[in-house]
A and B are shown apart, each in its own frame.
Chain A
């Protein structure tokens, strides 16, 4: 604690000296955000952008008391575009922090150029296992979750419910395969079937016919974005909505509910937060968000908001001196901010330790749809890859 204090004093002195030396100290903090703002998944990126902007507005356009410039880039969900944008932020704009991305494959693409330039990369959503274990990095933080945790939660719930026969379906790509592995980590019952659909799948009739024939206790699925919209509609239209429990992750959330509407009511989701979570400041956040942007915030917006608040706390701790990377890192690690999700601290791999909930889709009194907390499943949970991470602090 003492060395920490002297660090603060020293940097304060330096800051004052620099301030006396000239206008250089007026240099604003620069935060670059790379999220997906093109195509159907743009709804997710929009949530992140708006969540971060809301926090920034609340803080008077300043992070840690410093004037802040917030630059938003669209990765178009193309790896080479993401790399070019990351390069532009890091090398041309010389940003202090890169906040991104929504999707794991985009994070995979920008990871190396950002961290090798010793710029802090903070993921407001993507949480692949790759960077949670052996490849954890001193310049990378996640304010979201490790992807598998939501799936593990659903597996645990299925186990607790005593389900004997679960039908599993996911898109055929890495996160899809991770979802099934994650679910099975805590679930020991029978498996009715395990199917993988192409990414961007349109017509689920073949799969739904199989589900209907298998007649399982529950369906576990991971169908993000438009796939989730199509699947939920077709699942409900086929009359299966009341025949089996619908356990899902990233399939029914605030980005898809405006399209799914009544078809999704009663379906289960998983997450670290919901708009009705009873934590300090959460109700105000949701109200302010809806007032400003006119739609219900989802976990993407919350995590981006938290990211801004985290940066605010860290920048304040170093008094705006971002040149000492080690000091900045230490300040981020402390995570001295009030997260909208309640408990929040960083694990040694820089992923959060937090609570996880089973969520249920409901229609609000004002006719809008949102996920609501059904029950807490994990308390102060870290991910299962942290032990492979070699960082110590």
Chain B
């Protein structure tokens, strides 16, 4: 199959070099702002703001992972919190059992999430559309109930970690600032990884299959295998977010993989703008920030948050990314 046929078939987001630079400029400014957060005293005491922003970045990582299959693959996974939860639980259990080196944890988490992705992906990817949504939900629920019955590791109550994971034997991951920068580094690395996947031939095939599965298949592409590979990568990245979540909260509970959390991840991506360069990133940050600011305002913050979501959806086709572009008259392309 020719490259031209592929991009012709699908790629809506192919853009001039100028726009690509534009998009990366936005990403760079987001990451630089994040890097400066520890020096912005006006945001609040460090012990308060760093864990909050760290959590924001972890969810952004999970959202970016999800966007790979949701936005670019057109596969709406309603069970992605299961991958985050698997990563979180594997990390927590290993730390509890005395294995604290994060590289060992990473190896195990990648293996576990990869296996889970292969098994569930093999079943889920036979379906599509809303059936795919529901079957991924089904697997997510199974993992949720399995974790709830793990009474040796806290069951429903969850598990408090008295130790934290270590990086090369150092205590960086237990330190607010250390974990903050490690998380930021992982976020940037995963962001770039996903960008390069999306821009590669593989990414174009994935998008082509989203637009027209039959045509893509007729070009000699094994759509199932391409999607499975994307699902696998997405799941493993979400697992990495899970490790960081455990390090940040020093606590895991099945709530981390409830269907509500899977839903929130979808909302973050949709809110930010699917299959855009910075949409998932912006969506996650906006979602967590809004939630936090509004709940500081009033206990009944959902009375505001709910209608706000509706208004954003109704008035911004394509999420915050599109909204930003329109407000700035196209000056900011995200």
Interface residues, chain A, CB within 8 Å of chain B?
A: 37-38, 74, 78-81, 83-84, 87-88, 90-92, 94, 104-105, 108-109, 111-113, 117, 128, 130, 135, 172-175, 177, 199
The count of residues in chain B whose C-beta lies closer than 8 Å to any C-beta of chain A is 29
User: Mostly helix, strand, loop or mixed at chain B's interface?
Assistant: helix
Residues from chain A with a CB closer than 8 A to the CB of B306 are none
Min CB gap B15→A, angstroms: 37
Q: Known A92-B44, A92-B48, A128-B157; judge A105-B253 contact (CB<8 A).
A: yes
Q: Cβ of A91 and Cβ of B251 under 8 Å apart?
A: no
Min CB gap A67→B, angstroms: 22
Identify which of B64-72, B148-156, B320-328 touches chain A: B148-156
* Contacts between the two chains (Cβ within 8 Å), count: 86
User: Mostly helix, strand, loop or mixed at chain A's interface?
Assistant: helix
Tell me, yes or no, whether B196 is within 8 Å of chain A by CB.
no
A319 to B160, CA, bound (A): 35
Residues from chain A with a CB closer than 8 A to the CB of B47 are 87, 90-91, 117
Residues from chain A with a CB closer than 8 A to the CB of B207 are none
A128 to B156, CA, bound (A): 13
Q: Known A37-B299, A80-B256; judge A174-B157 contact (CB<8 A).
A: yes
Residues from chain B with a CB closer than 8 A to the CB of A104 are 157
A38 to B299, CA, bound (A): 8
- Contact among B52, B253, B299 with A87 in the assembled complex (CB-CB below 8 Å): B52
Q: Cβ of A174 and Cβ of B255 under 8 Å apart?
A: no
Residues from chain A with a CB closer than 8 A to the CB of B44 are 91-92
Q: Cβ of A80 and Cβ of B158 under 8 Å apart?
A: no
Residues from chain A with a CB closer than 8 A to the CB of B151 are 174, 177
Q: Cβ of B148 and Cβ of A79 under 8 Å apart?
A: no
- Contact among B45, B52, B155, B158 with A79 in the assembled complex (CB-CB below 8 Å): B158
A80 to B47, CA, bound (A): 16
Q: Cβ of B156 and Cβ of A105 under 8 Å apart?
A: yes
Residues from chain B with a CB closer than 8 A to the CB of A87 are 47-48, 51-52
A74 to B151, CA, bound (A): 27
Q: Cβ of A108 and Cβ of B154 under 8 Å apart?
A: yes
Q: Cβ of A109 and Cβ of B158 under 8 Å apart?
A: yes
A117 to B48, CA, bound (A): 12
Tell me, yes or no, whether B295 is within 8 Å of chain A by CB.
yes
Q: Cβ of B253 and Cβ of A173 under 8 Å apart?
A: no
Q: Cβ of A173 and Cβ of B157 under 8 Å apart?
A: yes
Nearest residue, chain B, Cβ from A84: B52
- Contact among B156, B255, B292 with A84 in the assembled complex (CB-CB below 8 Å): B292
Residues from chain B with a CB closer than 8 A to the CB of A83 are 51, 249, 251
Residues from chain B with a CB closer than 8 A to the CB of A128 are 157
Q: Cβ of A108 and Cβ of B249 under 8 Å apart?
A: no
Tell me the chain B residues, 47-88 only, with Cβ under 8 Å from chain A: 47-48, 51-52, 55
Tell me, yes or no, whether B11 is within 8 Å of chain A by CB.
no
A104 to B44, CA, bound (A): 29
- Contact among B45, B155, B160, B253 with A111 in the assembled complex (CB-CB below 8 Å): B160
